[in-house]
Structure 1
Amino acid sequence: QIRCYFGETIALYFGFLEYFTFALIPMAVIGIPYYVFAWEDYDKYVMFATFNLLWSTVILEVWKRICAIMTYRWGTLLMKRQFEEPRPGFHGVLGINPVTGREEPVYSSIKRQIRIYLVSLPFVCLCLYFSLYVMMIYFDLEQWALDYHEENESKFSSLMLFVPSIIYAVVIEIMNRIYRYAAEFLTSWENHRLESSYQNHLILKVLVFNFLNCFASLFYIAFVLFDMKLLRQSLATLLITSQILNQFAESLLPYWLQKRHKKRMKKRMCFLKTDTDLSLVEQVNLEKEMGTYF
């Protein structure tokens, strides 16, 4: 069974690489002329966006079908759902499972639905409204920066045109991270029995908010304001700022924290060298705080 899962994983991995490469080739071939010639015709951008939307949908649906064919061929189509155990965070009154006959926690589905529709759903809607409100503040800042540039045409005013987008990108990243913690807390509080149900509800919460929070301004600029210059400027600024923030949060910050932790541990080890008589608890705590190794 382990070899079956391992072989299926390897086959899916290489199949995904091959299929993903095939999916990107048409988009790249059609997108290169748009980038090279810098067409300003709005209809051409609509056609390209429509093609990307339809092509991405077709690719995803065909890939789902390939995954279903491969899982059926390997005999693992229903295996995960049949043998899925209750998630570790699931809690409730002990009862008897009518299927397995084993004693396990039981929680009312009515209480779970009440928590979902009366607490989680209003909270998500409130967060979406707050995200739209922040977006409107961003457009007010963009208008202020544009008016300032028209009144005082200088290098400083030209740089000020990018400030609202940079601030908005930072706010987007902060809101996404805060909302992620809130979504995880709410999903755990809903007390889902299976890990798959927990993940589905968490993904739905995060996906809806992240999509609106990250792309609502771009859709508004493209399909309401019809301002391609502002769209390119906002898209470039948001992507570059987001990449810089992610690199800092995923690379520089952990590296700095690790160096700081090692420096603190070296000082502590130098301090403890004079005292070799450590108790077992102190020795365990000291080794626990040391850095991991492989």
Structure 2
Amino acid sequence: MLIPAALVGLICFFYGLVTLHSDTLSEEICNHHLNITMCPLCDTCHYWNLAETCHYARFAYLFDNPATIFFAFFMSFWGTLFLELWKRYSADITYRWDLSGFDLQAEHPRPEYLARLRNAKYKTNVVTQTKEPYVPFWKVRVPATILSFSVVLLLISVAVAAVFGVVLYRMASVGPKSIFEGRNKFILIPATAGVINLVCIMLLNYVYNWVAVILTEMELLRTQTEFDDSLTLKIYLFQFVNYYASIFYIAFLKGKFVGYPAKYNLVFGWRQEECNPGGCLMELCIQLAIIMVGKQAYATVMEMVIPLLQKWWNNFKVKEEDKESRQIINQWTEDYKLVDWGPRGLCPEYLEMVLQYGFVTLFVAPFPLAPFFALLNNILEMRLDAKKCLRYYRRPVPKRVKNIGVWFHILDILGTLSVVTNAFIIAFSSNFIPRMMYMHIVNPDHTDVGFLNHSLAYFDTRHFSHSHNNVSHVDICRYPEYRNPPWDEHPYKRPLIYWRILAVRLIFVVVFQNVVSLVKNIVRWLIPDIPRKLHDEMLKEAYLTNEIIIEQERKRAQAMNPGRIGSRDFLTGERNAVANDDRRRKRRKKNNPGKIGSPDFHVVCTLP
């Protein structure tokens, strides 16, 4: 399914590459003759020229162009199509392995569950009719679940704090004492921040995975499926915040509440980060590429290195035991050297795929190459996983399941959330709507020529604090905002065009979400969950099963009474006799409503 998404993403990227020099905004930013002086980026920084961000603006156009809207709409449709086709494929697998009637109550309890409750009260399972330990719901299970998810929320707060620390690093790196100087600082600062964020993510993952298992054990869940679902929900909730928090910050918060010169909104004494005149979409793309590609590369390496080291360690232990016992090495000894698959062998694989699905769908608008990199990773990992399973792991023990469980619900929620995130990214992080408003309302020529000057506000440097007065030749500086100029009757207040753009942005979010949701519902209606051919096979199997049961019952009855039983006349006579008995029972009940209908009467009437 990633193949068509990767092809469309590459087409959108090459469209931006081909039309790069026709973009008016980047051409105006790179025009040195305009000589646009920008306001300082910090309280002690110097004034700078807008042309310094020329390469940044050109690079941003590759991911923020008219094809972005189409690609976001296409990926929302693609996500729905993927889930609907997966339902059909899952139904086919479930039917093939005869798991359509499988129920979790028929699953055996976990050995850890039985070991921890060996002294508890026992109750009879209504399905298996076996004695099992009983866990009080209100006294034990509810408090354990509340404690478990309270710790989860605490660790999620730690992940958010780590993201906030990276944000403070970016704020501090803008100052004049920063190690990043010159034109490359607009790319180096977000790149190094993305690497630091990735390192924090990996470190927090190790701590959280260990804590999540302990918390889930406290909940005393009966079956391995229930245990895996609860553990999966905890791990993914944390991974969602851990991986996506910084991306959500750049997409929806950065540069939105900065203020304006001489009245900035400060955080711990530092000014909030501002978006470049080209928008925050480029930094969002850098952050997304580093976290997504870096995470996949790191996970691929660790999936190969850790089993290899574990196998070497098992090999070393077996050799030491063989030297002491002087036994001949057999095939089962070689198999013992392999790594145990464990009850959660597939959980990291599913987690990696679902996180990748989130990267591909939630933030696909600023990074159309995400499906392409995901496809390359999956092609490589298919071969690496095959080698890993064949050479480093023991053969896993099969376990019966009806579907992928809670993973499908997570994918469904991500598909719904992706429509909202892409709509807000296009509306508030991209220049698409302000440029369209400028072309159709402000500019009488209906072109985007002059859009850069329209999107930059004026500021009188005399209104700065004393620290900026050392540059006397700069009277007016510019900053990316929609505010009145200092010579207006209401200086630095929001103009009418700002509120119009805000209204159009909100209207775009609503329209985009409703149109995409309508298309998704149509796709769901057109594609049934069970293929037509499979549905017919299931009906045919049910019919044949009933016929076999009837035939077996007829043979059993004929064996008990080998005379007339089994003939057509006998079956017809039996049906007529049952109908006559029913009519006689109703007549007797009508004539004598007292005794007729009592349990004793029914016992007598039903005797042969």
Q: Is the 8 A contact 1:146 1:161 kept in 2?
A: no
Of residues 175, 178, 187 in structure 1, which corresponds to 2:204?
A: 175
Is 1:292 the counterpart of 2:337 in the alignment?
yes
Write 1 or 2 for the structure with the bigger share of helix: 1
Of residues 114, 121, 124 in structure 1, which corresponds to 2:149?
A: 121
Cα 1:24–1:189 shift into 2, 3 Å: same
Is 1:36 the counterpart of 2:25 in the alignment?
no
5+ residue gaps, structure 1: 1-22
Cα 1:51–1:145 shift into 2, 3 Å: farther
What is the TM-score normalised by the length of structure 2? 0.37
Distance in 1 separating the partners of 2:132 and 2:249: 50
Of residues 84, 87, 90 in structure 2, which corresponds to 1:64?
A: 87
Cα 1:33–1:190 shift into 2, 3 Å: same
Distance in 1 separating the partners of 2:306 and 2:96: 45
- Between the two proteins, what is the percent identity of the paired residues? 26
Of residues 101, 104, 108 in structure 2, which corresponds to 1:85?
A: 108
The corresponding residue for 1:104 is 132
The corresponding residue for 1:4 is none
5+ residue gaps, structure 2: 17-61, 255-278, 328-332, 339-390, 392-608
The within-5 A match list for 1:1-294 is 23-38=1-16, 39-41=62-64, 44-45=67-68, 47-68=70-91, 70-72=93-95, 75-81=98-104, 83-91=106-114, 92=117, 93-99=120-126, 100-110=128-138, 111-116=140-145, 118-147=146-175, 152-153=181-182, 161-225=190-254, 227-252=280-305, 255=308, 292=337
Amino acid at match of 1:37: Y
SS of residue matched to 1:76 = coil
Amino acid at match of 1:203: T
Instruction: After TM superposition, give the deviation of residue 262 of structure 1 in Å.
Output: 6.3
Cα 1:106–1:243 shift into 2, 3 Å: same
Between the two structures, name the one with larger relative contact order (CA 8 Å, sep ≥ 6): 2
Instruction: After TM superposition, give the deviation of residue 232 of structure 1 in Å.
Output: 2.0
SS of residue matched to 1:86 = coil
SS of residue matched to 2:242 = helix
Q: Is the 8 A contact 1:170 1:242 kept in 2?
A: no
Distance in 2 separating the partners of 1:147 and 1:42: 31
Distance in 2 separating the partners of 1:29 and 1:243: 20
SS of residue matched to 1:96 = strand
Distance in 2 separating the partners of 1:157 and 1:231: 13
Amino acid at match of 1:102: T
What is the TM-score normalised by the length of structure 1? 0.71
Root mean square deviation of aligned Cα: 3.8
Instruction: After TM superposition, give the deviation of residue 44 of structure 1 in Å.
Output: 4.5
Q: Is the 8 A contact 2:190 2:287 kept in 1?
A: no
Cα 1:113–1:164 shift into 2, 3 Å: same
My pick for the range that moved more, 237-246 or 101-110, is 237-246
SS of residue matched to 1:104 = strand
Cα 1:103–1:211 shift into 2, 3 Å: same
Amino acid at match of 1:229: M
